[in-house]
Structure formats: C-alpha cells, structure tokens
Amino acid sequence: MAKGNLLIVDDNKSILSALEILLHSEFQTVTTLSDPNQIPAELRKGDYNLVVLDMNFNAGINTGNEGIYWLSRIKETNPEISVVMITAYGDVELTVKALKNGATDFVLKPWDNAKLLATLKSALQLNLSRKEVTSLKEKEKSLKTELNREQRAIIGSSPQLMNVLNLVRKVAKTDANVLITGENGTGKELIAQEIHRLSNRSEEVLVSVDMGAITETLFESELFGHVKGAFTDARENRPGKFEVADKGSLFLDEIGNLSFHLQAKLLAAIQNRQISRIGSNQTVAVDIRLICATNKNLGNMVRDGLFREDLLYRINTIQIEVPPLRERGNDIPVLAEFFLKKYSSKYHKPELKINQQAQDKLLKYSWPGNIRELQHTIEKAVILSENNVLKPEDFFIRPIASEKNSSDETTLEEMEKRMIEKAIEKSGGNLSAAADQLGITRQTLYNKIKKSGQ
C-alpha cells in the first residue's frame, strides 16, 4: 500500500465507485466527491497527496474549462499536491492547457488499470519529493536563522562606537566589500555580524574564516573545496567556504596573515566571482558579500612587499576602524556590567556587584587587550570571588599597562629592567633559567640585577 491520501472528484458516481474499489487497497485513504464545490473544504480537512480530477462536471459541456478552473483553485492553495486530470475527451490542446496550469498527468476514460496505477503512483512520488524539498528548505531557513541568531550583542553608547555603527548602517544595505580594522579584541567580528544582519542577505548565512588558522596546504581546500580523490584524504566531494557562503556573506578574519603567494589565488576568486574545486576543471559561480578584518596596517605591508596592492583595493571599498576600548570611555563599566551578569549566571553567583572603587580602577586601566581582556578579567574575578561585592583587589590587571602608552619616554635601562623582572618571574626565581630565557650568562644576569638595584 502506498503511503498516500487520495481524493477523487467526478460527477459520475459509478466512476467514483469503480475507482474507489480499484484504488482503496493501493492508498492509505481514498475519498470521493461528486460535487467539485466541496473540494476546498475537503482539502482543508485532510492532508492529501494526490487528486484525481474530472475535466467536465455539467452534461453536454466538454470544454474542460471546469476542470481547469478547479485545478487552478487546488494549486493556488496546495501547490505541492499532485493533480491527475481524467476525461472521456482526448484533446491535445486541452491536455497542454491542463499541464501548463499545474496538472501532473492526464488519464483518458476508459482507463487501463495498470497504466492508471502507474500514473497515480508516479504522481504520488512527485508529491512526496516536493514535500521533502519543502521540508529541507524550511529546515535550511531555520538553520540559517539560528546561526545568525547566535551573534553577540554590541554593547555601548560612546560617541566613538556610535560613529562606527552609523557607518555600518550606511554600508550594510550595499554589496560593497568592507575592510574592518582595529586592535585585537576590539570586536571586529561583531561588526561583521552587524553588517550581515542589516544587509539584504540577512536571511542567508554569514560564513566566518580565520585566515590565520588555515595552513597553506589546506587553504585552497578550505576556501574553494575539493572533489573526491583530488588528494589522499579527499574521500568525498566537499564545498569550500565560498560555495557555502553563496547568496550570503563571507567574513575573512585576520586577512593580513595570508601569505603573499596565496593572496593571488584569493584575488582571482574575488575578481571573477567564481571558483574551481581542487581536482575539478569545472568553475562554480559564487555570489557573496565580502567582509574582511585585520589588526595589521595593510598599507605598510603593501609598502614592504608583504601584501598585494591590487588585493587591498579589492577588499577595501569601505574601511571601518573599530576604536580600542581605552577610547570608549563610559562603555567600560557598561561592558563590565554585561560580562558580570553573564558570568554571575554561568557560575551561579547572582548577587555579585562591582563597587565604585573597582569601577574606577577598570576605567583608569588602558586595556591593551581591549574587550577580550576585559571579558577574561571579569570572568576571573567572578570565579575567584568570595563576597557579593567585587573590590579593586578582585580584579587582576597588568600594572604596566599605563606605562605602555608612554613607551616613547621609556629608557633602554627601564626596558631592560622590565624584561629581567618578567624573566625572573616566569622562571619562578631561578636565575639560571631566567638567564637562558634572556640569552645571556648567569653571571651577566647577576651583574645587571646588581647594577639596577633589583
């Protein structure tokens, strides 16, 4: 028995009886109607896969227009359903008209039982395939929505951040290539996510690639894909990131880490908007919105021969500079509060608060590691907290951060002293290990320590 529900519509009750007797053992359910006006109500009641529909319902009228009308009504409300037309009048023009209006097939009266069964089972299979495709599309859409929902919020209201977000809003609706620059930990990936979220491609996926983490040998396979047998471990066909991002956005993070000779391959893919999988001569067209990010000065790299100038022009239609945390003023306590709530919940310490003195300490610190450093600092404080109020001493931050901003005034002696202190601290006070780390003898290290009064 086929796993399908069948509706038969014909004004001739003897035909309905004959078809019901023939088909009741072949389908899960068989329902018959002699009045086509009942079709809409019946389709709302049951989950039908297939309709057998007569072409004429009034005696003396053989135009088939009634059948075409009800066919259109059925397909209008149930586009996936398969409809097989049945009539005593064979007319090529009428058949073509029915097929153009969405009929799956055509059967003439009197019918051959075997041929009728084969036609109906084929029409049922078409319906099941359509339903499967629709289901897969719905799942794909849900998956894309879920993936895009994972993006983290952009926290803050400082003028510096607002300027960035205003630029993001202007750029997002275009397909212009965007280069996001800024120090490590400033949230460049969040800006890329926001561009995608506000773009016309927001219902498609944003595919992120860390260019610094891809080895040269895997670069082409990761970005362009490969076919089965292209190399030793290529056991199946696999699309690359460009194909996966088709119709969506492709985010290439840390693009400044890409080696010079691989930049040419990336440039060709961006220029031509097509790629070829490894092991295949066939080109695949890709439609992507390109977003790149780096913490490096690509202009200087071009000058030094480390980055292709033509690639820089391609990826840099619009540049967005993300400000470091130290320039975002009152965003620091807002972000600190956000991370406090996040980790208080995660580590089951819901009553935690940061006192004013601790907030002042966080504001005065220069945060060389930016938001990422602040996040880890808050998490560490939450984990180690013993009271409900976090005080300045609960936040472990690097004391040399303020000195880092005035490095121009730092003398060679002070830099050397600092390096020695770090080496001794790292080696746990073992002078021999510290000397090895610094590349000097133990005696030289001892003399330097004595000279600096350490």
- Please tell me whether the overall predicted TM-score, pTM, comes out greater than 0.75 for this model: no
Res 403 pLDDT > 60: no
Confidence of residue 63 (pLDDT cuts 50, 70, 90): confident
Mean pLDDT of 126-134: 85
Mean pLDDT, residues 348-368: 93
pLDDT value for 389: 94
Split into its structural domains, the chain has a count of 4
Q: Is residue 398 part of a domain?
A: yes
Report the distance separating Cα 14 and Cα 158, nearest Å: 80
Q: What is the dihedral of CA 137, 142, 147, 151, to 10 degrees?
A: 140
- What pLDDT score does 62 carry? 67
- Give the CATH number for residue 77: 3.40.50.2300
Q: Residue by residue, what is the 3-state secondary structure of the chain?
A: CEEEEEEEECCCHHHHHHHHHHHCCCEEEEEEECCHHHHHHHHHHCCCCEEEEECCCCCCCCCCHHHHHHHHHHHHHCCCCEEEEEECCCCHHHHHHHHHCCCCEEEECCCCHHHHHHHHHHHHHHHHHHHHHHHHHHHHHHHHHHHHHCCCCCCCCCHHHHHHHHHHHHHHCCCCCEEEECCCCCCHHHHHHHHHHCCCCCCCCEEEEECCCCCHHHHHHHHHEECCCCCCCCCCCEECHHHHCCCCEEEEECHHHCCHHHHHHHHHHHHHCEEECECCCCEEECCCEEEEEECCCHHHHHHCCCCCHHHHHHHCCEEEECCCHHHCCCHHHHHHHHHHHHHHHHCCCCCCEECHHHHHHHHHCCCCCHHHHHHHHHHHHHHHCCCCEECHHHCCCCCCHHHHCCHHHCCHHHHHHHHHHHHHHHCCCCHHHHHHHHCCCHHHHHHHHHHHCC
Residue 104 within any structural domain of the chain: yes
Express each pLDDT in 288-332 by its tens digit.
999 999 999 999 999 999 999 999 999 999 999 999 999 998 899
- pLDDT tens-digit series, residues 141-191: 656 655 555 556 799 999 999 999 999 999 999 999 999 999 999 999 999
Structural domain includes residue 145: no
Greater model confidence, 423 or 286: 286
Q: Are residues 252 and 299 in the same domain?
A: yes
**pLDDT more than 90, % of the chain:** 58
pLDDT tens digits, 212-270: 888 888 899 999 998 888 888 888 888 899 998 999 999 999 999 999 999 999 999 99
Q: What is the pLDDT of residue 232?
A: 80
Q: Compute the mean pLDDT over every residue in the chain, rounded to the nearest whole number.
A: 87
pLDDT bin (cut points 50, 70, 90) of residue 280 is confident
> What's the distance, CA 442 to chain centroid?
54
The reply to whether 390 falls in a domain is yes
Q: Are residues 261 and 390 in the same domain?
A: no
pLDDT, residue 229, reads 84
- Is the pLDDT assigned to residue 408 strictly greater than 80? no
> If you search the block for the tokens 């290539």, which residue do you land on?
177
pLDDT for the residue numbered 346: 93
Residue 402: band (very low, low, confident or very high) from pLDDT cuts 50, 70, 90: very low
The pLDDT score that the predictor gives to residue 436 is 76
Q: Looking at residue 428, what is its pLDDT?
A: 67
For tokens 């109020």, what's the residue?
389
The pLDDT of residue 445: 75
Structural domain that includes position 163 = 159-321
Split at pLDDT 50, 70, 90, the class of 406 is very low
280 with 177, same domain? yes
Same domain, 387 and 295: no
Q: What is the mean pLDDT of residues 260-286?
A: 92
Q: Do 334 and 398 reside in the same domain of the chain?
A: yes
Based on the fold, state whether residues 121 and 182 are members of the same structural domain: no
Residues 198 and 294 in one domain: yes
User: For residue 361, what is the domain's CATH number?
Assistant: 1.10.8.60
Q: Find the mean pLDDT for residues 16-23.
A: 92
CA angle, residues 390, 395, 396, in degrees to nearest 5: 160
> Are residues 188 and 315 both part of a single domain?
yes
pLDDT, position 188: 96
Contacts of 400 (CB under 8 A, 6+ apart): 418
